[in-house]
Amino acid sequence: MKQFIEKNKSYIKLGLISGVMFALVMATFDYYMGRPFSIIKFAAHFVLFGLFNGYMAYRKVKKEEKKRGK
């Protein structure tokens, strides 16, 4: 597990940061629209968007490396 984290540290950080930012934006939008804050909705936005964004960044880098012949 430690080896996985060391190898993919930048993708994990990207996923965490983008997930938090997206969840905050969505919570702010809900607050602006007068909806109550939901921790479950916040967590779902954070986890799902963070995983998706981290995976897409990983996939993009691997595809570019393959294209360059590494």
> DSSP of 2-65, one letter per residue?
HHHHHHTHHHHHHHHHHHHHHHHHHHHHHHHTTPPP-HHHHHHHHHHHHHHHHHHHHHHHHHHH
33-58 confidence digits (pLDDT tens): 999 999 999 999 999 999 999 899 88
Averaged pLDDT score across all residues of the chain: 90
Say what percent of the chain tops pLDDT 90: 59
In this prediction the pTM is: 0.78
* Distance (Å) of CA 24 to CA 42, 45, 58, 61: 8, 9, 23, 27
- Least confident range from 44-48, 60-64, 66-70: namely 66-70
